[in-house]
Structure 1
C-alpha cells in the first residue's frame, strides 16, 4: 500500500492508504490531473471498465466515488478491476466531500472512511473484490430480466401495431414538407437542452424541420427557435407553443381530442394522430413516415443502461420505433460532435493576406493601380467580415 506525506515527509503509522486527494471536475475525465499515488475523487455512477483501467494504469493509491459505482441498473466491471489491482474503492460518499476537500489535501482512506489531519471528513461503503463480484452478478441478472421484458413488450407492440409500424397506416401526412429534409426531434428528457445547444451549427447549415415532442417544444422556444411541428396531447402544450408553432399534431389513443377549446382559443387547425405511445416515439415515427432523410433526436437516452432503466411498458415500443427508423435515426450528441469543430483561421488569413500583398505590388506597378485601390480596400473589409463569420 502507498504511504505519502505532503512534501515527502515520513510515512504515517496510521492504518489505511494515504495520498494527496485529486478531485475530478464535473464533466472532466476521471484521470484529469491525477498522478501515481493520488487518491482520486470521482463522480461516476456505474464505474465502467475504461475509467477503471485508466485509474489502474496511473497506479492511484485509492478511489473515492461520490456516486454508487454500481447502481444495479447495469453490470459495472470497474469496481472488480480496481479490486483486482489492489486499489481500495470507497463508494457513495456523497457530494459533501467535494466541499470539504481541496485537490492536494493529504487524506487517509481506511475501511470506508476518509480522514484529513486525523479528522473524519467523509465516509462511504468500502467495496472489496467479493462485494464487487456480487454486485456485478446481481446487476447482470437484473439486466437479463429487463431485456427479456423488453423483448416481450416489443413483440406484443409489434403484433398489435404492425400495420402502423410497418406500413404507416394511421400515420398522418403533414402539410409541412419533411421529405428529403433533415428533422430534429426534441423531447423533454435526459440532456435535451444541451443536445439542442450543440446542434446550433447543424441548424444554421441544414435548416432542419424542428419537431417538438410534448414539452420538448418549449425547449425549442427557449433555444430561440420556432417549432415547425409539435406532437403530443393538447394538455402538454404551453400557450406559447400553441401560439408560435406552425403545425400541431395531437396524439390520441381514442381518436377524441381532450380540451378542444384550447385549440379553438389559439385558432389552430390540428392533425390527429390516433395512436398510443410516448410523444418522442410517435414524433420519430411521424418524421420517418413523412420521408425525412435523417432524424436527429435531442433528448435520447445517452446509454443503454438509461434506456433500459425507463418504464418497462415504454421500452418495448420505443425499441420497435427505433428499429424501424434505424437507417435514419441518429443521436444529437453525435451530430453535435461532428458539426461543432472550429475552423482554424490562421491558414485562411495567411493565404488571403499573401494574395492581397501580391495584388498590391502588381497594382502599384500599373497606371490603373490608383483607380482600383479604393475597390480593393472595400473588398478587404468584406473579406475580413467573412472570415470573422467563420468563427461564429
Structure 2
C-alpha cells in the first residue's frame, strides 16, 4: 500500500519561525485577543515595563514594533522585560507594516526581517540581550537632559492647565454618595496586580470609592470589585467598563462634546464630561481631590524616577503637577498594602486567647488543687439555684 506524505513547502524549509500576526495598537480590540504563540504587531515608542509585561502575560512568541522600543530619551524597561522573557523583538520596522499585513496573516521572522510567504514585508532592528543592555546604558547617560525637558514640559502644562491645577476648574462633581470618602484610583501600570491584591482587606474594611482609570476599570472587574467611577477617553474605556453600572466620566481635550453618542445610548449611559489634558490616572486623582476625598490611594503608581519617566514627556509633566495638587492626600497603594498586610484581625487573637484559657483550665483541673477549686465552684453555683 503506498504511503502518502505531505510535500515540504518553501515556508517549511525557510529559516526563522512563523506565527499569526495580531495587531495590538492602543484602542485595537485585537490586543485583547492575543493568544499564546502569536506575533504581536505593535507601535510603542519607548515601550514601558507595563506594556511589555502585558505582552509577556499573553505568551506571545515575538513582538514586531513599528516604532523604536527605546529612543534613548530615558532608560525605559520594556525591551528588557521582553528579553528576560525570551521573546523576540524586531524593532523600528516602519509604518508600512500596517498596510502590507492584515490582522491574522501568517508571517515568518528571520533575524531582523519579516516575511509574508516568500515576500519581504518589513525590515527593522533585531533586539537581543546585548543590544538592550547597550541601549539602557546610553539612555541612562541622557537622563539629566530628560529631567531638564521634564521641567520645561511641566511649565508648559501648568500654563495650559493653570485653572484646573490651581483652582480645580472644569472638574465634574460626583453624586453626594461618592463625595468625602476615601478613594482608590486603579490603573494597569507598575505592579498593579500586587497592589490590588494586598489592598483587598483594606477595601473590604473601609468601603472606599473605586475609580478605574482607563483599563483600570477592567482590572477592577477582573478582580471581582465593582467600580464606582470609570474614567478615560472614548478609546480608553471598554464596553464592559461602560456598562458596568459605574458613573462614566469621559475625558477629552476640547469642549466639543464627547462623541460616541450611539455607544452610550446603546448601553443607556449618560456620561459626565471632563475637559482636560493628562493621563487618565492623573485626571482620576484630580477628580477625587476636587470631590473632597480625605485620602487617595493610587494602585499602579511608579515607585521610582525611571518608572515615572517611562510614561513619556507629556504624561510625566501631568503626573508631577497632579501630585503637587493632591499633596498629602495621595498615598501609594504599596505603602497601604504593607500596613494592611502587617495588621491582624481581632477575632484570631481572641480565639488564641480563648484556647489558652481552656488549656490552662484543663491542666489545672487534673490536679488535686484544681479538683478542690472545681468542687467549691460547683457547690457555690448550686447554692445560687432555688
TM-score bucket of the superposed structures, by smaller chain: 0.5 to 0.7
Aligned partner of 2:232 in structure 1 is 232
1:180 aligns with 2:180: yes
Aligned partner of 2:67 in structure 1 is none
CA distance in 2: counterparts of 1:267 and 1:298, whole angstroms: 29
Q: State how 1:1-392 maps to structure 2 within 5 Å.
A: 73=74, 95=84, 141-175=141-175, 177-255=177-255, 256-341=257-342, 343=344, 348-356=350-358, 365-366=377-378
CA contact (8 A) 2:182 2:295 kept: yes
Q: Label 1:290 to 1:309 Cα distance change in 2 as closer, same or farther (>3 A).
A: same
CA contact (8 A) 1:363 1:369 kept: no
CA distance in 2: counterparts of 1:228 and 1:176, whole angstroms: 13
Aligned partner of 2:53 in structure 1 is none
CA distance in 2: counterparts of 1:96 and 1:336, whole angstroms: 28
Measure how far apart 1:190 and its partner are: 2.3
Measure how far apart 1:199 and its partner are: 0.7
CA contact (8 A) 1:185 1:297 kept: yes
Measure how far apart 1:308 and its partner are: 1.4
CA distance in 2: counterparts of 1:124 and 1:265, whole angstroms: 48
SS at match of 1:353: helix
CA distance in 2: counterparts of 1:250 and 1:257, whole angstroms: 7
Measure how far apart 1:363 and its partner are: 8.0
CA contact (8 A) 1:230 1:245 kept: no
TM-score (norm 2): 0.58
Q: Label 1:124 to 1:300 Cα distance change in 2 as closer, same or farther (>3 A).
A: closer
CA distance in 1: counterparts of 2:381 and 2:240, whole angstroms: 58
CA contact (8 A) 1:249 1:270 kept: yes
**Per-residue deviation, residues 113-145 of structure 1 (Å, max 9, x unmatched):** xxxxxxxxxx986xxxxx99xx97x65641111
Q: Label 1:366 to 1:332 Cα distance change in 2 as closer, same or farther (>3 A).
A: same
Aligned partner of 2:43 in structure 1 is none
**Per-residue deviation, residues 60-91 of structure 1 (Å, max 9, x unmatched):** xxxxxxxxxxx99469xxxxxxxxxxxxxxx9
Q: Label 1:166 to 1:354 Cα distance change in 2 as closer, same or farther (>3 A).
A: same
CA contact (8 A) 1:186 1:211 kept: yes
SS at match of 2:226: coil
Q: Label 1:350 to 1:253 Cα distance change in 2 as closer, same or farther (>3 A).
A: closer
| Structure 1: stretches of 5+ with no match in the other structure | 1-70, 76-90, 98-122, 126-130, 371-392
Question: What is the number of residues matched between the two proteins?
Answer: 256
Q: Label 1:327 to 1:368 Cα distance change in 2 as closer, same or farther (>3 A).
A: same
Residues 349-358 or 248-257, more deviating: 349-358
SS at match of 1:250: strand
TM-score (norm 1): 0.57
CA distance in 2: counterparts of 1:252 and 1:313, whole angstroms: 15
CA contact (8 A) 1:249 1:272 kept: yes
SS at match of 1:272: strand
SS at match of 1:193: helix
CA distance in 2: counterparts of 1:284 and 1:291, whole angstroms: 11
CA distance in 1: counterparts of 2:85 and 2:258, whole angstroms: 49
CA distance in 1: counterparts of 2:207 and 2:290, whole angstroms: 20
CA contact (8 A) 1:179 1:293 kept: no
Residues 180-189 or 148-157, more deviating: 180-189
